């Protein structure tokens, strides 16, 4: 996430301009000295393919993915900037758990949970788990590729899994509303307005790239600790060295 992305829209800006400036990716911005940024990835195949946001791996000279205690090289396989999705193969990695996709769309009001590596280097290096609900079935400007969620996300959550109450993947964290930009336009500060790419968009991207998604068969709701374990198992830190 870029805490302040670009220039805040002036009062009276068009809806399209306001939407463009208000929605911010949730990838940690690159520091001038470190020249790196970070996000989160989702395991999609046991032989080392993870999915993440396209903006997480943009302009990377090198990609690293943390698997256990090791930082392994990642190779960019495919990237779709329009839908903000990408695939990275982690070199010489076997992943014990992969995302299990829901066989249907997320439901309005449904419980959802996110896991990722926000504010890496500042918060817990082991990742963070948050809970919320699906608050809208479209994104900014009724964009049907996205869902709106109340699940708290921070810089570094980009590309992380969003699972429902049964532990099924229903989305990929991608952006949050820029409260400062919106406040300048409306005079009010929005609260907890975040967005995820629908799992169906990611599923189609996998299929286009000859990867068969794993479809979930779970029918029982899980406890919060069980959801945390499920989401943690499929989430990986992604570092972009620039």
Tens-place pLDDT, residues 84-102: 999 999 999 999 999 999 9
Residue 143 has pLDDT above 90, yes or no: yes
Q: Which range (65-79, 120-134, 190-204, 210-224) has the least confidence?
A: 120-134
Top mean pLDDT of 19-23, 56-60, 176-180, 191-195 is at: 56-60
In this prediction, residue 48 carries a pLDDT of: 97
Q: Are the CB atoms for 67 and 236 separated by under 8 Å?
A: yes
Does pLDDT of 10 surpass 90?
Answer: no
Query: In this predicted structure, what is the pLDDT of residue 95?
Result: 96
Strands (E), the chain: 23-25, 36-43, 49-52, 62-67, 70-80, 85-90, 100-101, 111-116, 128-136, 146-149, 161-164, 169-177, 194-198, 214-215, 235-241
Q: Which of 141, 159, 147, 167 is nearest to 105 (CA)?
A: 147
User: Model confidence over 159-182: pLDDT tens digits?
Assistant: 999 999 999 999 999 976 554 454
The pLDDT, as a whole number, for residue 121 is: 67
Strand partners of residue 112: 132, 164
179-186 and 15-22 helices, crossing angle to 10°: 150
Mean pLDDT of 51-58: 95
Query: Average pLDDT of 20-28?
Result: 55
Residue 24: the pLDDT is: 58
| Nearest of 28, 13, 2, 27 to residue 182 by alpha carbon | 13
In the structure, what pLDDT confidence band is assigned to residue 36 with cuts at 50, 70 and 90?
confident
């Amino acid at each position: 996430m870029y805490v302040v992305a670009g220039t805040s829209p002036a009062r009276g800006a068009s809806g399209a301009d306001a939407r463009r400036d208000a929605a911010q990716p949730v990838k940690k911005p690159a520091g001038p000295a470190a020249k790196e940024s970070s996000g989160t990835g989702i395991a999609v195949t046991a032989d080392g393919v993870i999915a993440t946001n396209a903006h997480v791996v943009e302009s990377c000279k090198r990609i690293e993915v943390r698997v256990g205690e090791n930082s392994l090289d990642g190779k960019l396989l495919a990237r779709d900037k329009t839908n903000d999705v990408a695939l990275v193969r982690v070199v010489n990695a076997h992943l014990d758990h992969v995302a299990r996709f829901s066989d249907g769309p997320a439901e309005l009001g449904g419980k959802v949970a996110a896991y990722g590596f926000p504010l890496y280097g500042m918060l817990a290096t082991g990742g963070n788990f948050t809970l919320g609900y699906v608050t809208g079935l479209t994104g900014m400007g009724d964009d049907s590729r996205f869902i709106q969620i109340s699940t708290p996300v921070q810089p570094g959550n980009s590309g992380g899994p969003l699972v429902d109450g049964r532990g099924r993947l229903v989305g990929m964290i991608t952006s949050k509303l820029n409260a400062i930009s919106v406040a300048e336009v409306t005079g009010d500060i929005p609260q907890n307005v975040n967005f995820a790419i629908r799992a169906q968009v990611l599923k189609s991207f996998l299929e286009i790239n000859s990867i068969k998604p794993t479809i979930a068969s779970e029918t029982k709701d899980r406890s919060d600790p069980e959801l945390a374990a499920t989401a943690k198992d499929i989430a990986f830190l992604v570092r972009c060295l620039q």
